[in-house]
Structures are given as C-alpha cells and as structure tokens.
Structure 1
Amino acid sequence: MDFTDVSLTALRVLRAVAEHGTFTAAAVSLGYTQSAVSRQIAAAERVAGAELLERRRDGVRLTPAGRVVMRRATIVLDEIDATARELSGLPGQTGTVRLGWFPSAGAVLVPRALAALRRTDPDLHVVGRESGSTPALVRALRAGSLDLALLSSAPPFRPPDAESPPLVLQTLTERALRLAVPAAHPLARGEFVDVADLRGQRWISGSSSGDDRAMGVWPGLDERPEIAHTARDWLAKLQLVAAGCGLTTVPAVFTALAPAGVRILPVRGGPQEQRRLLLARLPQPPSEAVTRLAAVLREAALNDAGPNPDTPAPQQSF
C-alpha cells in the first residue's frame, strides 16, 4: 500500500462525504455527480486497503481506518489551502480558526465575540458558518472542516454523538428557555407566563424539516400544538410574534434583542426547560489560535448571560 498515490481530489471528496453524511449531499456541495464521488471514494479505499466509510441506511460515517486517514488528510488539505492563500498575496495572519454555530448563537454571541476579537487579536482570522443542525456541526468537526463548534443542548444533556474518541465539550452558559409573546397578547400583562396558560395557543415554529422542526413550540405540551407559521430565521420569528401571529420560544439572551411589540418572559410551572451553550472540538491538543478564540467566546458568553448561580463555572482550559 502506498497512500501517496491518493489524489488531493479524493481526499477532498472523502472530507465532504464525512462532513455531509451522504454521497448525494457531498456531490451537491462539490458540484460533482454522485458517481464521480463514488469513484473517488473507491479509489481511496483501494489504496488504503480498507473501507474508509461505513455505509448505513441513514447515511455514511467514517470507519476507524477512515478516521485515521481523515485526521492526516485534514493536515495535508489545510497546508495546501494555506499555501494557496500565501501565494495569492493575502496578508499574513497569526492563525486561522474555522468556527461553526447554530442559528441563535449567530444572532448574538458570535458577532459580539468577533467584534471583541478584532480589538484584542486583529491578526487572528476566523472563517465561520452557520448550521441549523447539531449533527451537521458534529460531522464537520469529525471531518476536520471545523476547528470549533458552538452547540445547543437540551435535557437530559447527552453527548452530541456516540463516536470515539468523544469530543471535548465545555459548557459556556446554562439558561432557562423563554417565551416571546406579542405585547398586546393577554399573556404579556404579567412578569411571567404560567405553563398551564400555553394550552390552546398558536405557535411559530422552526422549519418543517430537519432536527429543528419543533423549535419554537414550548417543550412538553400535553396537546398537539397549532402551528400558525414556520420560519427558520430568528428575526422572522420575532417579527411574526410582533405582528400578533403567535408565540415562539427563544433563548434568554434574546431578551435584549426583542423588537417593538414583543415581550420575552420566563415560564413558570412544570419542569425547568434549561438550555446549555456548549463549545466543542476534537480531542487533539488545540492550536494557540483555537485556544484564543475559545477564550473570547467564553468571555462573550458570560457577558451576555450575566450572573446566574445555576450556570456551571467553565473550566479555564479548553
């Protein structure tokens, strides 16, 4: 076996398949046909002398051999990309970090953290992208396409995947879910909403597909919710609330961002609906740039959250 015979194209295809979870999605992301993706993977597996991907009914995932190849391939591909940037004449940078996040983190935390980073570490370059799916963010971490990912976790706070080795996770904040209510709605008259009063309400939920489809409806309702509208964008949800079209759930940090015509209130009664903000990475030692960005994200999260005795104190190393 001579793995030097594997082309860069095959390595890029392997990373895309590992990240997107299916040959079809990888082909779309690369602009290839599915058969071309299959050929590149088959060529890499022939040279490796082992299956690099486990084919399952719900998609594919890296085998132990695939994880070894992907770990080394990521180093090669990152060096090639860095060389291309240097040859193109881009200004020098002390480090590049690829950061992924879920939608609500991109509305508040990420912009504030990046603004702080420009003041403290102007030479640190962050390449960021949003994903509406925790599995997609985790696959991108596993594939080496992301260095850090901001994840949201709900009770019972299970690990984001069952792969080995486990991801390194740091809890940045833990806060109770809140409710966005039209200012003219009867529920907006008090300083909190009783969970019993949520029966029979109309809801603005997340998109109708994917793992966020129920986002926006209060968890644990003992009835089939009436979904008045679906929207993935947080601004659209809040503007629909302002227009009196229904209620939606929001992270506590959105309280300061509520548009005119919206009140964001705590909900009392029933189990506490806590949400954790997590920072995740692979278990190998992080680069200095990753460590610096993690520290800035941790500081921004604590500043956004404010004091809360229920929030676990984050460890100082990550």
Structure 2
Amino acid sequence: MDLANVPTVALRVFREVAERGTLTAAAAALGYTQSAVSRQVAGLERAARAELLERRHDGVALTPAGRVVLRHAGFVLDRIDATERELAGLPAQAGTVRLGWFMSAGAVLLPRALAALQRTHPAIEVTTREGTTPVLVRALRAGTLDLAVLGSAPPFRPPDTESPPLKLRTLAERSLRVAVPATHPLARGDSVDVAELRGQRWVATPSAGEEKLMGVWPGLDERPEIAHTARDWLAKLNLVAAGCGLTTIPASLIEAVPAGVQVLTVRGGPQEKRRVVLARLPGPLPEPAAHLAEALRVVAAELGQ
C-alpha cells in the first residue's frame, strides 16, 4: 500500500462521497466536476490497492476496505483541521458537537434541548443540520456528525445494515395522531374512527428515494388522494388550517400546532406509534456530546409528561 503519500484532498473527496451517497452529489457539494471526484477516488483506491466503493445503479456503498479507510481518514482530517485552527490562533473546538436531526425534531425537541444545554453548559458549541434518515446516517458513518436525532416507524428496524451497527437510544415513543381543519366535520369530537378517514384529501411529504410517503394515515385500504405535498411540517399544518386536507402528526408536536387545526386520536386498526431515536457510532462518547445527549433525553421525557 502507498497511503502515506495520498493528498488530503483525496481523503476529503472520499469522505464527501461516503456521506452523500453518490459521486454526483459529492461533486455538487464540493464544487468539483464528477470526473474530478471519480479521479480522486480512483487514485485513493490505487493507493489502498483495494476497491473502496461498490458502484450501484442508485449510488455507491462502502466496501469493508472503504469503511476502514473512511474511519482513519476522518481522524486524519479532524487532526489537520484542529492544527490549522490552532496555527491561526482560533479557539479550540473541543467543546463543539455536530448534531443532525429529522424534520419535525426542529419544532420543539431541538430548540428546547439546545436552550437547556446553553443554561447548564454555555461553553459547548452545537452546530446542527436537518436531513433525511439516509443522509444523516451516512454523515454519522462519514464522521461529519457526532449525533443524529432520527424518526422511526414500525417495525422499528435499524436505520442501516452497515457494520458496526450504530448505537441507538430511544428518546421517546409517541402515538400518531391526525390533524384536521377546525372547520372540518371530523373536528366535532376529539377522536375519529379509522373508517372515517377513507375518501379524505391529504397533505403529505413527497416520497423520495428511501424516504416513504409521510402524512397519510398508515394502512388505509385505498389509494389516498394527495392534494398537496410539502416537506416542512409547519407548511403541512398551515395547509390543514386553510382547509386543504388532513395530515398526520406525532403527539409530541401537539403544542406547536397553529390555530385552525384540531388534532384527533384515531380509533380502530393497529395502534400507530412513532419513535424518536438518538443515533451515534459505537465507542466512547466525548463529554460535550454526552451532555447534549442528556439534554435531548431530559427534554424528550418532559414532552411525554
């Protein structure tokens, strides 16, 4: 092997490919051409004398050798970045935590946890990014996130099948509810039978790749009518308030629901549950990340009371 002379740019490109899942997405994020990204990866594979990526029709996946290189590349790049900061006279970032979160976690859980952490450990700096589960999991694997708050639906499978398995901690398990316009006939009570949801118009998150359609009550025995699609949960709820359709919502978000929306429990059929899970790579958790994880746990428990 001849990895000693591999340029750091190749390591950064490789880490970006591992995180983004495709050469095209990595090239766009880095401002490179796809051919330039391909050349950097090919050069790294020659130096490692091993195939690091499995090329698939829908992107790339790390090979066992690729996972080894990625793990060590992350360490090398982090040390180089720390050295550059120290030489530039910038403050050390030992207290920085990089957190990823799924869409609806930003409504209540995330801001409350960050506010709580600021009160107890003001020196800890947290940077965050929103993303889908596949994107956040790849970022954890690539070492560009320390923690990720993920949403999970039955049957609550692991978020990926890579090795080693991610370390998962359930922060909360809540029932799924349905949000209806306050002027809708279904809003006359505080619950609705699942049969009454047939024939309704829905406001849903569009399906994309590995992410499934969200916003329609699961298990309806009909092809649902999707009147509007939106990724942002608040946009969906405001469309509901405007009378544009129904959508689903975890019970943990009820207090953030805008005026003009009534949230109902659903009777009949299987009980629908959703989990909020904190994911990370296995191994010792640095103290700043442990403090943030505890703040997320405490706030999630408070929201369930």
TM range (shorter): over 0.9
Stretch moving more, 85-94 or 133-142: 85-94
In the alignment, is residue 57 of structure 1 matched against residue 57 of structure 2?
yes
Change (3 A) 1:245 1:60: same
Q: Structure 2: 5+ residue runs without aligned partners?
A: none
Q: Deviations over 1:40-61 (max 9, x none)?
A: 0011111111111111222111
Secondary structure at 1:266 match in 2:
strand
> For structure 1, which runs of at least 5 residues remain unmatched after alignment?
307-318
Match of 2:205 in 1: 206
Deviation at 1:287, TM superposition (A): 1.3
The 8 Å contact of residues 194 and 269 in structure 2, kept in 1 or not, is answered as yes
Q: Percent identity?
A: 70
When normalised by structure 2's length, the TM-score is 0.96
Deviation, structure 1 residue 233: 0.8
**Structure 1 residue 303, shift from structure 2 partner:** 1.1
**Aligned partner of 1:216: which letter?**
G
CA contact (8 A) 2:85 2:92 kept: no
Aligned to 1:282: 281
Residue of structure 1 in register with 2:100 after alignment = 100
Separation in structure 1 between the aligned mates of residue 54 and residue 257 of structure 2, nearest angstrom = 45
Alignment match, 1:77? 77
- Measured on the aligned residues, the alpha-carbon RMSD in Å equals 1.4
Inter-CA distance 111–73: structure 2 relative to 1 (3 Å threshold): same
Residues of 1 paired with 2:2 and 2:210: CA distance? 41
CA distance in 2 between counterparts of 1:6 and 1:146 reads 24
Deviations 1:226-276 (A, max 9, x none): 111111111111110110110000111111011110111211110011101
Deviations 1:46-105 (A, max 9, x none): 111111111122211111111111111111111222333444444445421111110001
Q: Distance in 1 between matches of 2:93 and 2:57?
A: 43
With 170-179 and 80-89 compared, the bigger mean Cα shift is at 80-89
Structure 1 pair 19–283 and aligned structure 2 pair: CA distance change class (3 A): same
Give the distance between the partners of 2:210 and 2:232, measured in 1 at CA.
15
Q: Give the structure 1 partner of residue 228 of structure 2.
A: 229
CA distance in 2, matches of 1:50, 1:162: 22
Shift of 1:213: 5.1
Change (3 A) 1:13 1:227: same
CA distance 1:211–1:51, change in 2 (3 Å): closer
